[in-house]
Amino acid sequence: MSHSTNALNCMQQHGFKQISLANVLEFDDQPSHLFRRPNKEKWVQDCLEPKLESWVPVEIGFMYETVRGSMVYGMFFQPLASLAAEQCYRVLEAGARLRAENVGLARKQSDKVLPESSFIGILATLKEAGRISEKEYEGWLRIPFLRNSYSHPKLQRIQKSGEPVKTLAYTAQLLNRLFQ
C-alpha cells in the first residue's frame, strides 16, 4: 500500500491527516464530517485573541499559555487542538484551587491544596465567599464534569473546528473574573 493510500485510509477512518515526515509541517485542513478550519493565519489569530489579564497569577498564566501554544500548533495536527481544549479544564481547576488558597479559603500542605478538598467543594467555598457569582457558579459546576469526562475517555474525542478556540476564550474569561 502506498503512502498516499495509507494517508487516505487514515483520513477516512479518523477524520484527520496521518502525520509523516513529508507532511508534518503542513496545515491540517482535511475536510471531514468533523470540521473545516479557517486558513492558518485566521486560526493563529483566533488562538491569540483571548488574553489573561495581568492580575491572573503567573503560574496560571504559564499553564494557559501552554494550552494556547498547543492549540496554535493544532493547525498541523487537528486532534492537538482538541487536547489543548481539554487541558483548559485542568487549568481552570488549578486556578480555582490557587484562588481559594490565596484568599485563605483552602488549607495548604507542602505546595498543594489538600487533596480532600474536591474541585466542587472548592467552587462552593469560592461562591459562598463571594469570589464566584451565583450566575458564574452554574458555569463553573460544569467544569469538573467536563474535566473528568475528558480525563477518563472511552474513545478519543475530536472537537469541531471552532470549539477549541471557544473553550480557550471561555477559560480566559473565567480566570480573569476569578482573580479580579
CB burial of 97-115 (b: ≥16 within 10 Å; e: otherwise) equals bbbbbeeebbeeeeeebee
Q: Residue 169 is placed in which grid cell?
A: 476564550
pLDDT of residue 108: 56
How many Cα neighbours within 13 Å face the side chain of 106? 28
Averaged pLDDT of the chain: 82
Q: What is the pTM of this model?
A: 0.80
Q: How far apart are CA 153 and CA 151, in angstroms?
A: 6
Quick one: average pLDDT of 140-156?
A: 83
7-11, 27-31, 129-133, 169-173: least confidently modelled range: 7-11
Please tell me the number of Cα atoms within 13 Å of 22 on its side-chain side.
5
How far is the C-alpha of 81 from the C-alpha of 73, rounded, in Å?
Answer: 7
Quick: pLDDT tens for 39-83: 888 889 999 999 999 999 999 999 999 999 999 998 888 888 889
Averaged pLDDT for residues 100-114: 69
